[in-house]
Amino acid sequence: MTAGERARIAGAGFVTGLAGGLFGVGGGIILVPMLTGVFRVSQHEAHGTSLAVVCATAISGVIVYALHGHVAWLAAVPMALASVFTAPLGARWAARTSRRGLMRAFAVFVLLTALRLLWKPPAAATAPLFAGAAGFAIAFALGAVVGLLAGFLGVGGGILVVPALTLLFGVPQQTAQGTSLALMLATAPSGALEHHRHGNVVLRLLPLLALGAVAGAPLASLLAQRLPQAMLVRAFALFLVANAIQTWVRAVRAPATAR
């Protein structure tokens, strides 16, 4: 492996970490196309390797959010428990749908969410959320839905859980993003290990990708703590729009019968 190749791999991890730290997502939706397009790995290998890198992004990013008090642990724990069980169900559901249909459904879902955020950024709730047995049940139910959709749409939970927390429950954007990263501490390792058992983690790329992610995630996480709430919400919405457009274009190019 040449010095240039090593730099490209670490750079891809760094960009992934930046996205993960700034927006509270795993960064897989950015890393997967880079892995298949630039590094020429298979789609299955890209998904498995991406999930392994998400572990590094989540760990390094969530530390910054937690130090600033922007992780709702009472919500993150039950959400993580539920999503671990429902994500495989979503994956089985996806197996019965064409790849083009899946990608179009995801693009439309993300675009509608982004437009809602741009139209009117949600105001932070004034009352405590997710406290007591009722709060645990709400968080568990939300985690179950997020896990199901994440498995169905083939993305990390962050791009779904962040808008859910802000739009449905009025959680501040920074707290929603920190809680999303905390959720990935459970879902990403379990998914990555399953992919590794099937030989779908490219180990030769993983160390440098993870190193880049560990460098990028804390920097972007620190920036996220300093951005005004409304600016961060709108930046996240624009990030969703870009992902929706990218996914729709890929869906148009995908074979109609591809699985």
Domain residue spans of the chain: 3-253
- The tens digit of pLDDT for each residue in 124-145 reads 655 556 667 888 888 898 888 8
What are 207's two structure tokens? 């160390």
User: With a threshold of 0.75, does the pTM exceed it?
Assistant: yes
**Six token digits for residue 32:** 């997967």
Contact call for residues 196 and 52 (beta carbons, < 8 A):
yes
Residue 154 has pLDDT above 60, yes or no: no
Residue-averaged pLDDT of the chain: 82
Over range 198-203, report the average pLDDT: 85
Q: Which residue has the higher pLDDT, 40 or 127?
A: 40
User: What is the radius of gyration, based on Cα positions, of the chain?
Assistant: 17
> Judging by beta carbons within 10 Å of its beta carbon (0-12, 13-18, 19+), is residue 30 exposed, middle or buried?
buried
48 CB burial (10 A radius; 0-12, 13-18, 19+): buried
pLDDT at 203: 92
- What is the per-residue pLDDT for 119? 77
